[in-house]
Amino acid sequence: MVIRMKSSLQYGTATQPLNEFIRSIRLVRDEILMLDQTLLPIEEETLVIRDYRQCIEAIKMLRIRGAPAIGVAAGAAAWLAAMEFEGKGDYLELMHKALDEIEASRPTAVNLFKATQAIRKIIQGNDAGRILEFTENLIDYEIEACKNMGIHGAEEIKGEKLGILTHCNTGSLATVGIGTALGVIRTIAQDRPVHVFVDETRPLLQGARLTTWELMQSGIPCTLITDNMAASVIATGAVDCVITGADRIAANGDSANKIGTYGLSILAKHHDIPLYIVAPESTIDRDTPTGEQIDIEERKPEEVVGFREVRTAPNGCKVYNPAFDVTPAENIAAIITNTGIWHPGS
């Protein structure tokens, strides 16, 4: 049987320019404005956060998510804590406790820890202004990093017309710029026709809910598939490369990303197509030698046994729910960063 899926696909270029992107988090006056990603794409609701504990809850509950955006949210949470504790005699003790609480919110994304560690070094007393400046500088860094990842990725990834498969969400919602993997796709799509296959990304459907929404807003042709369709779609020849993000990259290039990425890397290797990881330099954890040392977050069983209060599994069934897996460096064609290209498996 001959499958002709690739020839029937609609390829196209982006209709939305790169200088237009969603603002997942903003710092205004003495509050944080945050787009609640758990409600997308059905509702677009902006949270107004004035307490650092609310910001921690937002990180835990994935109201904000994606390694770069989580790093910014950590800085913003620390800024709110500093404003609350200013003038108190035990300010430093309270701030270090608040930073401990922020770090406990998500264990895998290294950007969060880099933000809190940097803030620990600058706090001395009445530091809200300094922490705000740090966080605003971090936002500027991430916006510029996304732009540069897009440039480097568009130069690295060849082909006049590209079928691309991506996993989870790596766009503006996951960053504070045009995105990491999705930023590369958007940059390519400014000049070349593309078609993007979007894994739905079980169990929380970030691909279905968020990535398709962003791609459609950008005017980029895309097709939503379930995670277990990826092998079949790749086998048709419709996919020229796989592009994903990362939440933590070990010193040897092993990359932790949303659960399912490791499986895609095996499929890509088997079918002789490249898999690219796209992440800013801030996501590389040079203190972690290999992927074996990366702490993988395990989330609540409720995420697997149902979705949005609709139960799909029997009561009492056992659940294993790791949020991430680790793709070994040898399965990665290139890691695309804001400072350049790294070929860890070569």
71: its two tokens:
């790093």
212-229 burial code (b ≥16 CB/10 A, e <16): bbbbebbebbbbbbebee
Strand order across the 324-327 sheet: 284-285, 248-250, 255-258, 324-327
Strand 310-311 versus strand 306-307 pairing type = antiparallel
At 5, list the tokens: 């899926």
Catalytic residue flag (residue 100) = no
Q: Torsion-angle region of residue 267: left (phi > 0), alpha (psi -120 to 50) or beta?
A: alpha
The 3-class secondary structure across the chain, one letter per residue, is CCCCCHHHCCCECCCCCCCCCCCCEEEECCEEEEECCCCCCCCCCEEEECCHHHHHHHHHCCCCCCHHHHHHHHHHHHHHHHHHHCCCCCHHHHHHHHHHHHHCCCCCCHHHHHHHHHHHHHCCCCCHHHHHHHHHHHHHHHHHHHHHHHHHHHHHCCCCCEEEEECCCCCHHHCCCCCCHHHHHHHHCCCCCEEEEEECCCCCCHHHHHHHHHHHHHCCCEEEECHHHHHHHHHCCCCCEEEECCCEEECCCCEEEECCHHHHHHHHHHCCCCEEEECCHHHEECCCCCHHHCCCCECCCHHHHEECCEECCCCCCCCCCECEEEECHHHCCEEECCCCEECCCC
Beta-bridge mates of residue 26: 33
| Catalytic residue (choose from 127, 199, 240, 247) | 247
For the annotated catalytic residues, the residue numbers are: 247
